[in-house]
Amino acid sequence: MASIKTYNPTSPAVRFKTTLDKKELSTDRPQKRLTEGRQRISGRNNKGRLTIRHRGGGHKKLYRIVDFRRDKRDIPAKVALLEYDPNRSALIALLAYADGEKRYILAPDGLAVGSSVVAGENADILVGNSLPLKNIPLGTMIHNIELRSGKGGQMARSAGAAAQLLAKEAGYGQIKMPSGETRMVHLECYATIGQVGNLNYENVSIGKAGRSRWLGKRPTVRGVVMNPIDHPHGGGEGKTSGGRNPVSPWGQPTKGYKTRNNKRTQRFIIKRRGK
């Protein structure tokens, strides 16, 4: 889909900046019925206290209502437009259904304006079609996978993401996730064929600090450059690298710290994700 666009180094800020070339994408405003306002959180909880650091500011965004459920079954749709979505790394496609309704979906790699897609148990194994895991052949690359039937896709939704269906056994499909984890998902759960588009997203170079601020990312100060009173890594004569495992300002391990605590779904994970 979108390729990488570079710039002449007319200033130090532009020298390393790259962006996605959006010439194939629609320049129209998003569908008004498929958008809604979005309150800025800025890393604060319901009491207004800062609970997630380094968030705030950024450009105002309209939230695009994306159809993760794909519950409009057996009604064919044409891809009317491919659009940029500021709320996610993936691009979105506007579907125009045969009955006149319009919906947004995640745009898989290879989907073009004019393509035809459909969701349902008897859909063909074609990019953009959505069907239950029980009807998808082994080895197929899939995305937007449901964890619970009817809840809507929750896994493999970011740009370039794709999972692979490895096996089917005792009512469950074994899926290898983009992280390397292998887990079981019920065969009645729906998934979409193909890989999420916008594969070049990971190759974009921000180029300057201001562009991070546009995205709502505030500056991050390293603990090792602080004073000992401000951070466990602070202090020391000359440059030191902390002298202990990386921790937050409050002493919690901050890299590789296992936080998962859901014993109810533990049995569905066959192989943990590797480093």
Q: What is the pLDDT of residue 258?
A: 80
Q: What is the pLDDT of residue 257?
A: 78
Residue at 16: amino acid letter: F
Domain extents in the chain: 4-202, 222-269
User: What superfamily in CATH does domain 222-269 come from?
Assistant: Ribosomal protein L2, domain 3 (4.10.950.10)
Q: What is the pLDDT of residue 260?
A: 85
Q: Please give the class, per CATH, of domain 4-202.
A: mainly beta
Q: What is the pLDDT of residue 181?
A: 95
- Coil, strand or helix: which one is 14? helix
Confidence (pTM): 0.90
Residue 5 and residue 17 in contact, taking contact as beta carbons nearer than 8 Å = no
Q: Which two tokens stand for residue 7?
A: 């710039």
d(CA 186, CA 188): 5
**Strand order across the beta sheet in which 92-97 lies:** 102-106, 92-97, 77-83, 116-117
Which H or E run includes 236? none
pLDDT tens for each residue of 154-180: 999 999 999 999 999 999 999 999 999
What average pLDDT does the chain have? 93
Q: Which two tokens stand for residue 140?
A: 């197929």
CA distances from 205 to 7, 100, 114, 209, 220 (A): 11, 40, 31, 11, 18
pLDDT tens for each residue of 26-69: 999 999 999 999 888 899 999 999 999 999 999 999 999 999 99
- Coil, strand or helix: which one is 64? strand
Where would I find the beta strands (DSSP E) of the chain?
Answer: 4-6, 18-20, 35-36, 63-64, 77-83, 92-97, 102-106, 116-117, 130-132, 141-143, 145-146, 153-155, 163-169, 172-176, 182-186, 190-193, 269-271
pLDDT tens for each residue of 85-125: 999 999 999 999 999 999 999 999 999 999 999 999 999 99
pLDDT tens for each residue of 221-236: 999 999 999 999 999 9
Regarding predicted confidence, which is higher, 189 or 242?
Answer: 189
d(CA 126, CA 179): 24
Q: Does 2 have pLDDT greater than 80?
A: no
Q: Does 1 have pLDDT greater than 70?
A: no
Q: Does 275 have pLDDT greater than 70?
A: no
